[in-house]
Structure 1
Amino acid sequence: MRRRLLSSTLLVAVIGVLLLGIPLGVAVNRLIEEEATQELSSHAKSLLGEVEYARIQDQPVDEQQLERKYSDLYIQIYAKGTPPQVITVGTEPPESQKMTEDAQSENGVYVAVSRDKTGVEREVRAWLFLILGLAAAALAVAVGLAIVQSRRLTLPLSDLAMIAERLGSGDARPSKHRYGIQELDRVAEVLDRSATRISDLLAREREFATDASHQLRTPLTGLTMRLEEIVAAADEPGIVKEEGEAAIVQAERLTAVIDELLATARRQRQAQTEIVELDGLLDQQLIEWGPAFRRAGRRLSLVGARGLQALGTAGGIGQVISTLLENSLKHGDGTVTMTTCARDRSIVIEVADEGKGIPDDLAPRVFERNVSGGGSTGLGLPLARALAAADGGRLELVRSRPAAFAFFLRQVGDTGRNRVVRGPA
């Protein structure tokens, strides 16, 4: 590309020099010749006036004075009379190099002035050499500017190629390079935006892997507990059937969680106006988590209003409640109570325990990622809040000591806030 720029710039410069230099040389040649001709004509007229004046004064023409005054000219003077007067001053130049201008008066006086063309040709050559020198200087400047311009263009393009190659290799850092050329700066801005998007995509992929590993652990734990119950109750067929059905429910829930996480990773999760029966969903949570609390010597209870319906997704609501129960089992103490109630514009599910609660310095940051006061991953509550927001609700810490979380859901008939949510809120 650099060679192409140099050759094209040089070609344009040569064409420009030829288009300007050739007419300029012709014009200079003609101008110098016309100037020399006018000068000879002026000398001839001046001599004619001097001769006429001398004749009026009846004085002879002083040839020595004329020779001193017009030393580089050849002068011929012819005047009628008796006898006619002929005066020649100077050396006659060769016929091939001779330039002549004449003048004649009504009184019969004729004056011819000649000069050698060599001086005129020398002056023309000097001007032509000057024009050629200027043309060569213009070409040199054009080549220099072409080299500078080619570097200014090719170096940024090489830099942009390196940035694009780096993006292709997975290094998604924006370069922030700008080159002072509008088109190249626009390409650099597009590459920086692409790098930012690629970096965001990679970050979301990492978050998805982390969230998946965390969120799949809860249903797997529940499935493991059910299988342990099946093994422990192998001698009781009724209990085995019941626990087997619960294990199937856990497996179905595990599939739903995987679907939820994949939809979140694709940023296509939709919060639809689906009516969810909360009684069945919360009873299922009691069945799933009851054995784990009993083994820990604790109790799980459900109180409050029954027959409530909310707008959301059963998978999202169940995942949020499971996260809250798991946190209460792991970090809380005493009885865990799920309380349901209906308010003016929302359905509220509160999960509270009787433990020491959340430290004051940790409470404002409990929903931030990777923030945990009990040695866990610190991902459960942030993801639970994102799932709640995706269903059009919200998850709040309403009391830190002892800990109590409230899950606010939309009531049936609240269609004013139906929308599609792309990704965690």
Structure 2
Amino acid sequence: MRRRILRATVVAVLCALLLFAVPLAVAVLRLYQQDEIRELERAADRAALTLPTQVRELDPRELPRPRSGTRLAVYDTRARLVTGSGPASGDAAVRAALAGSVQSRQVGGNLVVAVPVGSAKRVRGAVQVSRSGAWAWRRSALTWLAMGGLGALAVGAAALVSVRSSRRLAQPFEALAATARRLENGDLTARAATCGLPEADAVAIALNRAADRLDRLLQRERAFSADASHQLRTALARTRLELESELTISPPSDPHAAMRAALESLDHMTTIVDDLLALARDVPERTLLDVAALLTEARRRWWDDLAVAGRRLRVVVEDDLPPAVGSRQAACQVLDVLIANAASHGRGEVTVRARDAGEVLAVDVEDQGPGLPEGQDVFARRPAGEEHGIGLTLARSLVEAEGGRLFVSRRAPRPCFTWLIPRPNRQNSGPDLA
């Protein structure tokens, strides 16, 4: 990039110099030639003033001495050389001067000036002064050399400015390229700095946004792998427990019933995988949620499991419950995590209550256990198998991705988790749940 900028600048300056220098060089040559002609005219006029009435009676010593390199000749009215350095017979310039007009011409490589002697009514002769045109060319060459030096200085200055400008222009893009290479090598912490150049800053901002998006996507994929394995292990453990329970029954019960239960569990695992794959997408789904129907389905899924443990699941839905917005798959996963947490770590009856909380819809999940340990963040990600495991982390991430909020509204006794779901009238601007 720097070389291209330097090359383009130098070429542009050279073109501009040529466009101005060539006509100027021609004009300088013409100017010096005209200066030479005017000087020859003055020399011829001075010589004409010194001539006697009879040109043939001229004493050559009375003529002014011309400048070195200048030739002076005097002709009579018949264009014959009287004295001086010139052809024996006058040329066209001399004959024109004898006709009463001043003539200046370039003959070969010489500048020739011929002036009449006397008045326009009575011409008594002609004076011709000539000099080599190389004088004008030499003066022009010196001027052209000076112009070339100035042009070289101009090109050098333009190149210097171009180098500094190209460095200033190239450095931000080189930094952007370096940041892009770091991102390509897997360093998602790389970020491009702004430099004050609007175009480069726009690219840097776009690259940083892309890096943030990639970082979020990668973190989401990693979390998805852990969350999916946790959810599937839970479903597999349930299926294994059901099959082992059937095997321990004596005498054996109907194996078809166990198979049907296992198939239902497998179908449930397939649903979990499909839901998690849908939730792994970067664009969240925002549709109307029938919270009452979701709670009814959750009750059907978890009633038997809690009943086997001698516990009851109670679902309470307020009348005229307003609708909410979000992803149905995410809502199902959140409900399953909260109920599974109450079933695994709580005691007694599990109550799921949906209520209108003003600008949001609230879902409370509580049990009759002694409570949560003080100071423990139950939503922090920990290895699977530890207290509260990975499920609550999954639930909170799903809730926040849908624009809601999940928190512990009561730690002890009877611990309660509250899930706030956005209402439809908050869809455009997003809920303020902080």
TM bucket normalised to smaller: 0.5 to 0.7
Per-residue CA deviation, residues 2-24 of structure 1 (Å, 9 max, x unaligned), is 88777777766665554444333
Please tell me whether residue 353 in structure 1 is matched to residue 368 in structure 2: yes
Residue 140 of structure 2: aligned partner: 124
Aligned CA distance change for structure 1 residues 314 and 250 (closer, same or farther; 3 Å)? farther
- TM-score, normalising length: structure 1: 0.67
Aligned CA distance change for structure 1 residues 286 and 133 (closer, same or farther; 3 Å)? same
- In structure 2, what residue type is equivalent to 1:213? S
Deviation at 1:234, TM superposition (A): 4.3
Alpha-carbon contact 1:281-1:318 (below 8 Å) kept: yes
Query: What value does the CA root-mean-square deviation take over the aligned residues?
Result: 5.1
Q: Secondary structure of the equivalent of 1:224?
A: helix
Deviation at 1:389, TM superposition (A): 6.8
- TM-score, normalising length: structure 2: 0.66
Residue 214 of structure 1: aligned partner: 230
Q: Secondary structure of the equivalent of 2:372?
A: coil
Count, aligned residues: 392
Q: Distance in 2 between matches of 1:321 and 1:271?
A: 17
Please tell me whether residue 104 in structure 1 is matched to residue 117 in structure 2: yes
Match of 1:225 among 241, 252, 257: 241
1:317-336 maps to which residues of 2 (within 5 A)?
319-332=333-346, 334-336=347-349
Residue 311 of structure 2: aligned partner: 300
Q: Secondary structure of the equivalent of 2:312?
A: strand
Deviation at 1:355, TM superposition (A): 1.6
Aligned-residue identity in percent: 26
Match of 1:289 among 306, 311, 316: 306
Q: Distance in 1 between matches of 2:260 and 2:222?
A: 34
Q: Distance in 1 between matches of 2:355 and 2:152?
A: 92
Higher relative contact order (CA 8 A, sep 6+): 1
Deviation at 1:242, TM superposition (A): 6.2
Match of 1:276 among 265, 268, 293: 293
Deviation at 1:218, TM superposition (A): 2.5
Deviation at 1:206, TM superposition (A): 1.0
Q: Distance in 2 between matches of 1:146 and 1:342?
A: 69
5+ residue gaps, structure 1, are 81-85
Q: Secondary structure of the equivalent of 2:408?
A: strand
Aligned CA distance change for structure 1 residues 43 and 269 (closer, same or farther; 3 Å)? same
Residue 31 of structure 2: aligned partner: 31
Please tell me whether residue 260 in structure 1 is matched to residue 275 in structure 2: yes
Alpha-carbon contact 1:395-1:408 (below 8 Å) kept: yes
Q: Distance in 1 between matches of 2:128 and 2:187?
A: 88
Residue 83 of structure 1: aligned partner: none
Alpha-carbon contact 2:351-2:365 (below 8 Å) kept: yes
Match of 2:416 among 393, 405, 419: 405
Q: Distance in 2 between matches of 1:8 and 1:170?
A: 37
Alpha-carbon contact 2:72-2:129 (below 8 Å) kept: yes
Alpha-carbon contact 1:222-1:289 (below 8 Å) kept: no
Alpha-carbon contact 2:337-2:392 (below 8 Å) kept: yes
Deviation at 1:280, TM superposition (A): 6.0
Q: Distance in 2 between matches of 1:123 and 1:405?
A: 102
Aligned CA distance change for structure 1 residues 350 and 70 (closer, same or farther; 3 Å)? closer
